[in-house]
Structure 1
């Protein structure tokens, strides 16, 4: 029989691994709290986050809450989408948290830019709009996180950590809405014509751009209006965008 560093008797057990050394005066119960990091534990190091939202009070509140986390550093705050890329590059940001609608450039457009210009920066989109089309477009733009703007802060923190670790985080309710929206009823050509009509172009201009006859363009527009259950081309465009069909 031998004694440990604290003077306690240690009875050797044949075949057993030697016990880890302990510090004297530390209660045995403390050992119950020494475990491997769980999935919810913060990763090592601090994540540099660029936060973009055109609502000053909302942006400030989110920044203050995220700043309480020991592994998150708010590297920059911007109120316009067209300022995000410069901020990400200046601070070598790990994560960009973007509002979906901002002046200068929306979150989806910014996400697409970051995918090519700053591929090392993970993108998380915040939205106040539960439109299924936004989720589909966010994923196609390269965003790895998508959740509601009114989500609890711990959910946002978890999403940031997951995206930083290389995973995806999708709000379950928004994902369910996108799944129930179904596939697009529009043909490829009908969708092309609607996209070309977004800026209010005439049938003649769309026909020239797509190398179609004016009559064919009008037929495609009529079909798209009928399939979206609307009564004019602009309403058809909005519905198709909201549903993620464009």
Structure 2
């Protein structure tokens, strides 16, 4: 029996996935989470074989949760499930040690098979995403620029970002200017769009 942790912030979707997976004779959902920061505590309590994580969740995104899970419970393999097929997310997932990456549009039997393959240690990648990720340019932003842009995407102003990251407002503004230049963007909103579509933030 393969024990599964299911993390998805939309309750109806999570409940439907859990019901579908519990119909499989060799799969059982042993834990559920609605936030990324609930993943590791619930995994440590339930010891799942596979964690199925949504990419976009409150608290921590699924990719950050996957990286923490790899550190805290390396025996648990991770399968990302997302509605946003961004190649940059796939690259971040691979860097976080994720075993599988599947779109939410996949049929239920494909998800069940992906969980089995992930549990067996086999890599599972959506073919269209894999091809797009191969062609995607590397993220040109530094980790600091990425962090600042991620906060800017929440609507935070430079002064708020500076206070959060213990930086000066001038440093934040300089980094945002650098981001716009590196991405060849027309301004901050365009830079946010480019980075988001690429999956860099």
**Does TM, normalized by the shorter one, top 0.5?**
yes
SS in 2 for 1:105: coil
Contact 1:47/1:71 (CA < 8 Å) preserved in 2?
yes
Shift of 1:198: 4.0
Q: Under a length normalisation based on structure 1, what TM-score does the superposition of the two structures give?
A: 0.67
Tell whether 2:7 aligns with 1:52. yes
1:53–1:80 CA contact under 8 A, matched in 2:
yes
Give the corresponding residue for 2:158.
201
Give the one of 108, 121, 140 matched to 1:166. Answer: 121
* 1:242, distance to aligned residue in structure 2 (A): 3.5
Among 10, 19, 35, the alignment partner of 1:80 is: 35
**Aligned match of 2:190:** 235
Say whether the 8 Å CA contact 2:148–2:176 is kept in structure 1.
no
> In structure 2, how many angstroms separate the alpha carbons of the residues matched to 1:139 and 1:156?
19
Partner of residue 152, structure 1: 107
When residues 239 and 156 of structure 1 are mapped into structure 2, their CA distance, relative to the original with a 3 A threshold, is same
TM-score by length of 2: 0.81
Counterpart CA distance in 1 for 2:126 and 2:107 is 11
Larger helix percent: 2
Q: 1:193 to 1:93 in 2, by over 3 A?
A: closer
Question: What is the root-mean-square deviation of aligned Cα atoms in Å?
Answer: 2.6
For the pair shown, the structure with the greater C-alpha radius of gyration is 1
Segments of 5+ residues of structure 1 without an aligned counterpart are 1-45
Q: Is the 8 A contact 1:122 1:164 kept in 2?
A: yes
Query: Are the counterparts in 2 of residues 221 and 233 from structure 1 also a CA contact under 8 Å?
Result: yes
Q: Give the 3-state SS of the residue equivalent to 1:167 in structure 2.
A: coil
- For residues 96 and 243 of structure 1, the distance between their equivalents in structure 2, rounded to whole angstroms, comes to 25
Residue 141 of structure 1, aligned match among 79, 84, 96: 96
Unaligned residue ranges in structure 2 (runs of 5+): 152-156
1:68-125 superposed Cα distances (whole Å, 9 cap, x missing partner):
1111111122222222212211111111111111122221111011010111111111
CA distance in structure 1 between the aligned counterparts of 2:12 and 2:23, rounded to whole angstroms: 17
Which residue is equivalent to 2:52?
97
Corresponding residue of 2:154: none
Higher RCO, 1 vs 2 (CA within 8 Å, ≥6 residues apart): 2
1:225 to 2:180 alignment: yes
8 Å Cα contact 2:89-2:200 kept in structure 1: no
1:183 matched to 2:170: no
Encode CA deviations 1:3-39: one digit per residue, 9 max, x unaligned: xxxxxxxxxxxxxxxxxxxxxxxxxxxxxxxxxxxxx
